[in-house]
Chain A
């Protein structure tokens, strides 16, 4: 399975503020009653984007100026809580290609990487600066250099970080590990055979 080598990502950004944004907020459980992930994008942040009468709230993702944003900017511990892949799937299917945040919950980070959507870590100050730039001008272009750990906004290049395992997987086009896992057929058998309980 040849996968795209994800080395550079560019696009407009949107700042979705909040510490400890959990996966129940990203996609409430009652919208997970699906047998495929298609169409999950419309449920992204559903409960905060719509009021109880189904009317749009003033949530940033309802702002038409950010309709074509493809990079989400978030705060710390983003994606905590449930292991539901529905959360990064909803973000991906709503048109996002990368997330830049102060920190990410572990399962969410792994699930996102497997979808080819890097979770880039930046400092609090950098997040503030990038968020301010896209808030001032929604058309601000963000350029992420995945291989070299940089994010460039308005001519300024920020040194950011991405876990090495995720970076290697993305830039080498190995972000979905299934092909590599399958290749090790003989090693899997060997490990299983050595385990007394298998």
Chain B
């Protein structure tokens, strides 16, 4: 019997079996940022240890960096100290940092792919749960805690328990107006927020075959919201085409050898999966969350659930969610007034997200009273948007055009909701307090749906607002 990609990469990177039965796994690429690494460097110094592979470690700043001003020192003294701490540590240990002045800074999950650092058949770790994003390339990518950041810095390995693999097939044709974001929100809705516990998700089927790399990243990014620590798509020609010629991609003769290795890493036709789930693309509609976790999602055409209609297990959570979201049980989600539109994050802050949204935003205006901010995921995305005039389309519509960072996805910088503002957001989490206000409310949706909400001032079906909504890059 053949092996799946996860098993192949796992076997190739296994160093030893630890006394508790876990595997010591070699981490090919370690990505670090300013929030979860300073303490790890502190531990390293306390133990008098060095960074084992500084050349396999890459840093950037994203979580707390302000997006409205890049004048240093930053107003927020704590943020300023953390960024300086990362600069000092990377300098001390000889680690490449994509700093604010490099023109290449951005959300860590944007920078890796853009630079060609993210490659198939590698292991990647980062102190951030959205590290599964890199799985779009056929990498096995883990979000880790700070003690593990220390472990990887010191040994380039970490202790892991082997995951099972669930194959998720999405076959058929997505309806017009249904995007990668809807696909992953639907998968999480179907399998639950803890359905992926103990699993790596392998995404496949004709919908994934046709997706571009940015769409695959959107799906893999939210694997953790379904409880799966990593998610991946097998590498194919789309992957190789994306990587060719990037700064850290293999060069010249190394390229052909790398592609041959990457091809061989893909799951074998006769491999084993611990579970298989089949989803029909035609069944997916534009999806929005209504509650306080990403699994509390409905089609935009549906109504918010009631406590009574929910399963016994869900009742308590549904009641809490309805109360927090201040939504009328049983009412249509469509028409819910919004206060803020947030466009960005490691889920949907890429060039194709902005391009697709700009097609519909052009010539339109953000509704009165709605605060709308657009935050490119990286400086390179921001630059590309500016070269294409996309920033001007967003600004003319009434969006604030910001500098690259995580911004209002987790609100560690000044971009925060105020009071119980309701935000239509392209990000990945609608947890209570996530966007910076304990009473703030978040509705997750695709970029085109956020633009539709911004223009109408309420949760809307983009297909109705814009008429004929395309598949974006899927059609291309």
**Residues on A close to B: CB < 8 A?**
18-20, 22, 24-25, 28-30, 32-37, 47-48, 52, 76-77, 80-86, 88, 103, 105-107, 110-111, 114-115, 163-169, 172, 174, 176-178, 180-182, 184, 187-188, 190-192, 194-198
Determine if B432 and A177 form an interchain contact, defined as CB atoms under 8 angstroms apart: no
Nearest-Cβ distance from residue B314 to partner chain A, whole angstroms: 8
Cβ-closest chain A residue relative to B409: A29
CB atoms of A184 and B145 under 8 A apart? no
Q: Could you tell me the distance in whole angstroms from the C-beta of B315 to the nearest C-beta in chain A? A: 10
- Assign chain B's interface to a size class: 35 or more
Contact B147 A47 (CB under 8 A): no
Q: Which of A106, A111, A195, A198 has the most CB of B within 10 A?
A: A106
Are B14's CB and A196's CB within 8 A?
no
Bound: A76/B227 CA distance, A: 12
Q: Which residues of B contact A191 (CB under 8 A)?
A: 13-15, 26
Are A115 and B20 CB-contacts (below 8 A) given A20-B293, A103-B197, A191-B15?
A: no
Q: Is the CB of A81 within 8 A of B129?
A: yes
Contacting pair A165 B21 (CB below 8 A) = yes
Q: How far is the CA of A3 from the CA of B340 in the complex (A)?
A: 50
The answer to whether A80 and B293 have CB atoms under 8 Å apart is yes
Shortest CB distance B406–A (Å): 9
Q: Which of A20, A32, A190 sits near B317, CB closer than 8 Å?
A: A20
Cross-chain contact B154 with A182 (CB below 8 angstroms): yes
Indicate if the CB atoms of A20 and B193 lie closer than 8 Å.
Answer: yes
B155's partner among A106, A174, A182 (CB-CB below 8 A) is: A182
Q: Min CB distance, A182 to chain B, in Å?
A: 6
- Give the CA-CA distance A12 to B251 in the complex, in Å: 61
Complexed CA–CA distance, A48 and B433 (Å): 10
How far is the CB of A23 from the nearest CB of chain B, in Å?
A: 8
B98 within 8 A of A: no
Contact assessment for B13 and A106 in the assembled complex, using a CB-CB cutoff below 8 Å: no
Q: Which residues of chain A come closer than 8 Å to B198, judged between CB atoms?
A: 106
Residues of chain B lying within 8 A (CB to CB) of residue A182: 49, 154-155
Chain B residues packing against A (C-beta within 8 Å): 12-16, 18-22, 24, 26, 28, 35-36, 38-39, 42, 47, 49, 52-53, 56, 63-64, 76, 78-79, 81-82, 85, 119, 122, 127-129, 131, 143-148, 150-151, 154-159, 161, 193-194, 197-198, 224-225, 227, 229, 250, 257-258, 261, 293, 313, 316-317, 320, 410-412, 416, 429, 431-434, 436, 438-439
| Cα–Cα, bound, A82→B346 (Å) | 13
Q: Looking across the interface, which residue of chain A has its beta carbon closest to that of B406?
A: A29
User: How far, in whole Å, are A114 and B22 apart by their CA atoms in the complex?
Assistant: 13
For A24, list chain B residues within 8 Å (CB). 410, 429, 431-434
> B56 near A198 (CB under 8 angstroms)?
yes
Partner of B433, one of A47, A111, A167: A47
> Could you show 9 A-B contacts with beta carbons less than 8 Å apart?
A30-B436, A34-B39, A81-B224, A86-B146, A111-B147, A181-B18, A190-B15, A195-B28, A197-B258
When the two chains form their complex, are residues B197 and A106 in contact, meaning their CB atoms are under 8 A apart? Answer: yes
Q: CB-nearest residue of chain B relative to A168?
A: B20
Asked if A52 meets B439 with Cβ closer than 8 Å, knowing A20-B293, A187-B16, A195-B12, the reply is: yes
Nearest CB of B to A161, in Å: 14
- Of B127, B194, B416, which one neighbours A105 at CB under 8 angstroms? B194
Contact B85 A35 (CB under 8 A): yes
Given A34-B78, A107-B229, A197 contacting B161 (CB threshold 8 A): no
Question: Most B CB atoms within 10 A — which of A166, A194, A197?
Answer: A197
A24 to B47, CA, bound (A): 30
Q: How far is the CB of B158 from chain A (nearest CB, A)?
A: 7
Contacts of B16 on A, CB cut-off 8 Å? Answer: 184, 187
| Contact among B22, B82, B157, B316 with A188 in the assembled complex (CB-CB below 8 Å) | B157
Contact of A82 among B129, B193, B258, B439 (CB under 8 A): B129
Task: Evaluate whether A168 and B156 lie within 8 angstroms (CB atoms) in the complex, with A29-B410, A35-B85, A191-B13 already known.
Answer: no
Q: Is the CB of A168 within 8 A of B412?
A: no
- Return the contact of B197 from the options A34, A36, A105 (Cβ within 8 A): A105
A47 to B148, CA, bound (A): 27
Q: List residues of chain B with CB within 8 A of the CB of A178.
A: 47, 147, 150-151, 154-155
Given A20-B194, A52-B439, A188-B157, do A83 and B258 touch, yes or no (CB 8 Å)? no
Output the nearest chain A residue to B42 by Cβ-Cβ distance.
A36
Min CB–CB distance B108 → chain A (angstroms): 12
Contact, CB under 8 Å: A107 / B194: no
CB distance B12 to A174 under 8 Å? no
Judge whether A165 and B26 touch: CB under 8 Å.
no
A134 to B363 CA separation, bound complex (whole angstroms): 61
Contact, CB under 8 Å: B21 / A168: yes
Are A165 and B22 in contact (CB-based, < 8 A)? yes
